[in-house]
Every structure is written in structure tokens, then in C-alpha cells.
């Protein structure tokens, strides 16, 4: 405990010193929620949008065993981000019992997939799960785990230019790879390779990206028995190797979590490395945050080492994230639909529809907002009520926030309810029919938004 307090104080001092005189501060990237193991992607349907998929750390946790779910984030400018909330959870995966650890995502044959690891129920071994969605923000539906992968921790999927899918995985000083079959649910056993000996210091977390015809395999590793992890890389002419070890490109750094893990993406012509640290929690290894820096290669193709800085991508004074929670996502997104239905009759909804038919008292929708610390948000609700006013209660974490009569609105419209406070951890925002008194109209809830507000903006 003393040790943790000391680390925290030391880290706060270093952050303070590095902040003086610096206008831009884009690291950590997400400051409202604890996230780790980032998987950055740009999908072919929209080159202007960057997506980052992450695992999630609970505030206050002191190990990684209790990790249960994943989030998706998107941006078009690297400054303003949307947190699409929980996209997959242990509860949505029948075969798993714990350890929702690192994940990756891919777009393959017109569907979006997340590839993740969890421990198989009753056996306690890591498996590599596959879940699908027809939209990049999920939620994702589990399809089972990949056959032929033993100890499938920290999976990463790479689709080569010819459309061939490859899977990489690794843990505990080992790393493996294989070509996947077309359904992504099993490997081709004849292609399986053990890459461990080619990847000096490897510990876990492989990631492959292609640049100028070469395959770069980046990974967290330990120089013999020494934590924290540093990031290393190796290069090959073929996705399955052989790989030539090149060296370290993110050394250990102040405020680092014991682990490091990440991926590379090219966005608007620039290569960027996403990884994680423990800056947001003041250096506590089990509550991590996503970081991003430009990744550059020298004229020989070697990666120029990254020195993590608070400035990060250096585009703005800070990043801002808005939680965007679609009402219809229900259980898969950590919410609940009680005695209401998902409909699509009123046009102009976002996502897959909206929630309606609040006929009886307590018929409700609730949505889950996960945050790292007690903090303030601007709360908005998008709704329609074409046939007249509708009486409802809004609860935040079981406390009545507001009794509200949603005015008649034939089209979907946004109401700004002003500033609300969320607690650290899981917050439930519930909208329900207030009483037996009939409303004039039927309410349709499309989504809620909770936009980060900073202390210096409140007065
Ligand atoms: O986030 C849990 C585990 O920590 C990941 O699976 C590892 O790569 C390390 O980052």
C-alpha cells in the first residue's frame, strides 16, 4: 500500500512538471474510463473514421482477473471521441467464465468481428473467441471459440491484401500464428507456426501490420525477468515468418502499467501506435488508459523509438469523449429493456431502432455508462413522441433525477438536460413510465449521450 501511494505521488509530480509550459495534452486519449489493450482500425466503408476497441478495467481493481468486458470508440479528428459503451461482456459468452483480456477487431466479408480471449468455463484455459456484428460499434454476438488454438490469450487478426486471414496469439513468453479458415472459427493446422524463438523477449500481445510490403510484428516483452513490459518488434517478408528481431521501440517509462499492449493503424496518411499506460490512475497497474503517438520509420524501414509524452498527437489542448448509448442495445450493452419493445416505424432513428411501448408503470429502458472517476457530464436524450406529451421519470443510479413530460415531437429530437454527475464504475440511467396516468402520446427513446465536461468549464 505504501509502495502504491509512493508511486502515485511520484507520478503526479512528474505529470505536473511535464505539464508546465505545455499547451497540448492528448495522452491519455480517453480520460473518462479505464481502458487497455487498444486495437485501432480504419474500416473500408469510411476512411475518415478511426475505431479503437479496448478491454476495460474496473475502478479500484488490484488485479486483471476481474476484467469482464470491452468497449468501442470512434473519432473523425483524434480529439473528439465517441465511446459506444460496452460492446461485449462475459455474460454474453456462454462458454467463458472469466478474464476478458485483450482483443482485436476486423472487417471481413462485409461483417465486423471482434476476436478476444476469455477463460473457458470449468477448464480455466484461455480460448480465442469470435463475435460478429453488422455495424462497427456492435454490440457483438459471440459465435464460439477458434478450434485448434490452445492457450489462446491475446489474439490479433491480420487480413492480408489478398484477403487471407491470419491469427496471432501469445502469452507467458510464447507466440504462435496460423492461417484461419474462411469462417474464422478454426485454424488451418498445417500452417501453424511457433514464432517464439524468432521474437526475442516476447511475453504476450502480438500485433501485425504491413508497411511497404513488409510484415511488422510488434509485441510486449520482458528483458529477462524484469517488469514492466517494453514494446519490441520483428520484421518478415511473409505473414507467418520467419521474423527477424529488430529491437525495442517503447522502453519502460514513468507511470507505465506493468503491462503494455497495443496496435498500429494508418489514419489520414499517418501511422499511429496505440498502447496503454497507467497515467490516469496515477500509476496503478490494474487501472490503465489508452495512449497514442505517431509511429515513424527511418529510411531503412526501422521503427523510430517512441518516447511517451503527455502531448501525444499534439492536436489539441485535450481530448473529449461523449458516451453514446443506444437504447435498443439492451442486455448486450449492459442495459435492460423491461416490458418495452424495439421498433423502427418512426424514421430517422440512429443505430438499429428505438425503444417504445412504455405502457405500464415501471416499463423501462436502462443504459449502462461506465466511468473511471466521479465526474460531470452533459446529459442529452434523443426521443420522439409523435402523438402528444408523455410523462416519464429519469433515474440515475436509482436516484430520481427528473420527472419529465416529453413534449410532443413528430421527429426525433435531442433534449439537453444539463450537467449530471456520474460515480466511478457502473452507472445506470433509467427512463421509465411514471404512473398509471395515461400519457397523451407514446414515447420513443433513440439514445442518450453523456458528454465529458471539465472542471474549468463549469463556472
Ligand atoms: O489486459 C489484460 C492483459 O494484460 C492482456 O491480455 C495482456 O496483454 C496485458 O495487457
CB of 64 shorter than 6 A to ligand 1: yes
Instruction: Answer yes or no: are the C-beta atoms of 142 and 301 closer than 8 Å.
Output: no
Q: Are 220 and 171 in contact (CB under 8 A)?
A: no
Share of the chain above pLDDT 70, in %: 95
Q: Residue 428, Cβ neighbours under 10 Å: how many?
A: 15
Instruction: Choose one of 69, 99, 117, 154 to mutate for the ligand 1 pocket test, by most ligand atoms within 8 angstroms of C-beta.
Output: 154
| Dist. CA 259 → ligand 1 center (Å) | 7
Helix H or strand E encompassing 193: strand 193-194
Integer Cα distance of 177 and 164 in angstroms:
13
Peptide bond into 430 cis (omega under 30): no
46 touches 53 (CB < 8 A): no
The residue among 55, 75, 73 whose CA lies nearest residue 65 is 55
* Atom 3 in ligand 1: residue holding the nearest Cα: 101
| Mean pLDDT (the chain, rounded) | 94
Q: What is the pLDDT of residues 422-434, one digit of tens each?
A: 999 999 999 998 8
Q: What is the Cα–Cα distance from 133 to 141, expressed in whole angstroms?
A: 6
Rounded to 10 degrees, what is the CA torsion of 224, 227, 231, 233? 10
Exposure class string for 329-353: b at 16+ Cβ within 10 A, else e: bbebbbbebeebebeeebeebebeb
Which residue of 90, 104, 205 sits with most ligand 1 atoms within 8 Å of its CB, as the best mutation to test the pocket? 205
**Residue 160 near residue 166, CB atoms below 8 Å:** yes
Q: What's the pLDDT score for residue 19? A: 44
Mean per-residue pLDDT, 328-351: 96
Of 17-26, 411-420, 427-436, 450-459, the least confident: 17-26
Of ligand 1's listed atoms, the one at least distance from the Cα of 57 is 1
Domains of the chain by range and CATH? 2-318 (2.115.10.20), 321-458 (2.60.120.260)
Q: Whose CA is nearest to atom 2 of ligand 1?
A: 101
Helix, strand, coil abundance in the chain, percent, nearest 5 = 10, 50, 45
C-alpha of residue 179 to centroid of ligand 1, in Å: 23
Percent of the chain whose predicted confidence (pLDDT) is above 90: 90
Instruction: Please say whether the beta carbons of 343 and 356 come within 8 A.
Output: yes
Q: Rounded to whole angstroms, how far apart are CA atoms 36 and 290?
A: 6
220 contacts 239 by C-beta, under 8 angstroms: no
**Per-residue confidence at 224, pLDDT binned at 50, 70, 90?**
confident
Residues contacting 369, CB < 8 A, separation 6+: 85, 323, 325, 377, 422, 426, 427, 428, 429, 450
Whether residue 331 has a cis bond before it, omega within 30° of 0: no
Task: Enter the C-alpha cell of residue 188.
Answer: 488451418
Distance CA 240, CA 285 (A): 32
Ligand 1 proximity of 36 Cβ (cutoff 6 Å):
yes
Half-sphere exposure of 167 (CA within 13 A, CB side): 36
pLDDT digits (tens, 9 = 90+) for 341-399: 999 999 999 999 999 999 999 899 999 999 999 999 999 999 999 999 999 999 999 89
Q: Phi-psi region for residue 225, left (φ > 0), alpha (ψ -120 to 50) or beta? A: left
Alpha-carbon distances, residue 380 vs 271, 347, 420 (angstroms): 35, 20, 10
Pocket of ligand 1 contains residue 171 by CB under 6 Å: no
Q: How confident is the model at residue 440 (pLDDT cuts 50, 70, 90)?
A: confident
CA separation for the pair 278, 35 (Å, rounded)? 10
The answer to whether the CB of 101 is under 6 A from ligand 1 is: yes
Average pLDDT on 58-80 reads 97
pLDDT of 14 higher than 80 = no
Express each pLDDT in 120-151 by its tens digit. Answer: 999 999 999 999 999 999 999 999 999 999 89
Q: Which one-letter DSSP state was computed for residue 95?
A: T
183-191 own/partner pairs: CB under 8 Å, 24+ apart:
184/108, 184/113, 184/115, 184/130, 184/146, 184/157, 185/130, 185/143, 185/144, 185/146, 185/147, 186/146, 186/147, 186/148, 187/146, 187/147, 187/148, 187/149, 189/148, 191/240
The predicted structure's pLDDT at residue 8: 58
Q: Once rounded to an integer, what is the mean pLDDT over residues 320-329? A: 98
Cα–Cα distance measured from residue 363 to residue 341, given in angstroms and rounded to the nearest whole number: 10
| Per-residue pLDDT at 20 | 42
Cα–Cα distance for residue pair 393/111, rounded to 1 Å: 38
| Three-state secondary structure string covering 393-434 | EEEECCEEEEEEEECCEEEEEEEEEEEEEECCEEEEEEEEEC
Q: Please give the radius of gyration of the chain, using alpha carbons only, rounded to the nearest integer.
A: 23
DSSP string, 131-187: EEESSTT---EEEEE-BT-SS--S-EEEE-TTS-EEEEEEETTEEEEEEBPTTSSBB
18: confidence class by pLDDT, cuts 50, 70, 90: very low
What is the pLDDT at residue 403?
92
Among 268, 264, 255, 269, smallest CA distance to 292 is for 264
The band of 21, judged by pLDDT with boundaries at 50, 70 and 90, is very low
Neighbours of 375 (CB within 10 A): 17
Q: Tell me the pTM.
A: 0.95
Query: Which residues are paired to 114 by β-bridges?
Result: 105, 131
C-alpha closest to that of 260 among 300, 297, 215, 291: 291
- Ligand 1 atom at minimum distance from 64 CA: 2
Closest ligand 1 atom to 37 CA: 10
Amino acid at each position: 500500500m505504501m509502495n502504491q501511494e509512493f508511486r502515485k505521488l511520484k507520478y503526479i509530480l512528474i505529470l505536473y512538471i511535464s505539464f508546465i509550459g505545455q499547451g497540448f495534452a492528448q495522452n491519455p486519449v480517453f480520460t473518462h474510463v479505464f481502458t487497455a489493450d487498444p486495437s485501432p482500425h480504419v474500416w473500408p466503408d469510411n476512411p475518415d473514421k478511426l475505431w479503437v476497441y479496448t478491454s476495460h478495467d474496473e475502478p479500484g481493481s488490484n488485479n486483471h482477473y476481474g476484467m469482464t468486458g470491452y468497449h468501442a470508440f470512434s473519432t473523425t479528428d483524434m480529439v473528439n471521441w465517441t465511446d459506444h459503451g460496452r460492446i461485449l461482456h462475459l455474460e454474453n459468452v456462454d462458454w467463458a467464465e472469466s478474464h476478458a483480456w485483450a482483443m482485436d477487431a476486423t472487417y471481413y466479408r462485409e461483417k465486423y468481428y471482434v476476436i478476444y480471449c476469455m477463460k473457458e468455463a470449468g477448464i480455466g484455459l484461455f480460448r480465442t473467441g469470435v463475435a460478429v456484428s453488422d455495424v462497427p460499434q456492435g454490440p457483438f454476438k459471440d459465435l464460439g471459440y477458434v478450434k485448434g488454438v490452445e492457450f489462446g490469450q491475446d489474439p490479433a487478426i491480420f487480413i492480408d491484401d489478398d484477403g487471407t486471414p491470419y491469427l496471432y496469439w501469445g502469452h507467458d513468453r510464447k507466440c504462435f500464428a496460423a492461417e484461419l479458415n474462411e469462417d474464422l472459427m478454426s485454424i488451418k493446422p498445417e500452417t501453424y507456426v511457433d514464432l517464439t524463438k524468432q521474437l526475442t523477449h516476447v511475453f504476450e500481445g502480438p500485433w501485425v501490420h504491413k508497411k511497404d510490403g513488409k510484415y511488422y510484428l510488434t509485441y510486449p516483452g520482458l528483458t529477462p525477468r524484469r517488469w514492466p513490459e517494453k514494446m519490441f518488434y520483428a520484421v518478415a517478408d511473409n505473414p507467418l515468418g520467419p521474423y527477424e528481431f529488430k529491437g525495442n521501440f517503447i522502453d519502460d517509462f514513468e507511470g507505465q502499467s506493468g503491462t503494455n499492449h497495443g496496435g498500429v493503424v494508418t489514419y489520414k496518411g499517418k501511422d499511429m501506435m496505440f498502447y496503454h499506460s497507467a497515467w490516469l490512475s496515477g500509476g496503478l497497474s490494474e487501472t490503465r488508459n489508452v495512449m497514442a503517438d505517431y509511429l515513424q520509420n527511418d529510411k531503412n524501414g526501422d521503427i523510430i523509438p517512441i518516447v511517451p509524452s503527455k502531448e501525444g498527437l499534439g492536436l489539441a489542448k485535450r481530448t473529449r469523449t461523449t458516451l453514446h448509448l443506444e437504447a435498443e442495445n439492451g442486455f448486450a450493452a449492459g442495459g435492460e429493456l423491461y416490458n418495452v419493445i424495439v421498433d423502427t416505424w418512426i424514421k430517422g432513428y440512429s443505430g438499429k431502432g428505438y425503444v417504445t411501448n412504455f405502457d405500464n408503470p415501471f416499463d423501462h429502458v436502462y443504459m449502462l455508462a461506465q466511468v473511471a472517476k466521479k465526474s460531470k457530464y452533459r446529459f442529452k436524450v434523443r426521443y420522439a413522441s409523435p402523438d402528444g406529451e408523455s410523462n416519464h421519470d429519469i433515474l440515475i443510479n436509482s436516484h430520481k433525477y427528473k420527472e419529465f413530460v416529453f413534449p410532443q415531437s413528430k421527429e426525433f429530437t435531442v433534449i439537453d438536460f444539463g450537467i449530471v454527475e456520474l460515480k466511478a464504475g457502473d452507472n445506470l440511467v433509467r427512463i421509465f413510465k411514471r404512473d398509471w396516468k395515461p400519457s397523451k402520446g407514446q414515447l420513443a427513446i433513440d439514445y442518450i449521450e453523456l458528454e465529458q465536461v471539465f472542471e474549468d468549464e463549469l463556472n
